[in-house]
């Protein structure tokens, strides 16, 4: 079972397109939780994903509860600037889901409160509020892949 990236209410099509391209390159499944801040036929979304959309395993959901129900036996890690643990301090395994919130607000506080042991963050200076969503998703999924010796990927 591959890794999974879950985007909860993403707002910027270029970020989602870039994440889709990362998913295509790594065999990571992409899950999008509505409402989305763009149309899925948006030219920006398609341009950012280039011609790799055929290689993306993509699923849409109407709520995060649907994702949790479908993957109730998997582990979830929630990326947040409010987390205390570094993403690189966690031990990831096949089938883990990495959850990211909308670009302007991050994940809802209730999700963070429900999962205090699996909140992760990327270290950064105090000069910025956060990293770009697409960059954050790539950082986390590549760390998980590195820890598992890049299963199914070619050097």
- Would you tell me the crossing angle of helices 133-147 and 13-26 to the nearest 10 degrees? 20
SS3 6: strand
Residue of higher predicted confidence among 38 and 31: 31
Q: What are the residue ranges of helices labelled H in the chain?
A: 13-26, 43-49, 64-70, 109-114, 133-147
pTM equals 0.94
Is 131 or 45 the better-scoring residue by pLDDT? 131
What mean pLDDT is reported for the chain?
Answer: 93
pLDDT tier for residue 148 given thresholds of 50, 70 and 90: very high
140 or 38, which is more confident: 140
């Amino acid at each position: 079972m591959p890794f999974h990236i879950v985007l909860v209410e993403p707002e910027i099509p270029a970020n989602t397109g870039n994440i889709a391209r990362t998913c295509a390159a790594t065999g990571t499944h992409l899950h999008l939780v509505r409402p989305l801040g763009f149309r899925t036929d948006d030219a920006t979304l398609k341009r950012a994903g280039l011609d790799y959309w055929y290689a993306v395993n993509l699923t849409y959901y109407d709520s995060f509860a649907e994702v949790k129900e479908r993957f109730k036996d998997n582990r979830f890690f929630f990326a947040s600037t409010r987390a205390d643990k570094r993403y690189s301090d966690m031990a990831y395994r096949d089938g883990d889901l990495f959850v990211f919130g909308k670009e302007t607000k991050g994940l809802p506080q209730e999700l963070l409160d429900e999962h205090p042991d699996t909140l992760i963050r990327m270290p950064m200076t105090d000069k910025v509020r956060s990293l770009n969503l697409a960059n954050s998703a790539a950082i986390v999924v590549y760390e998980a892949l590195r820890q598992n010796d890049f299963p199914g990927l070619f050097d």
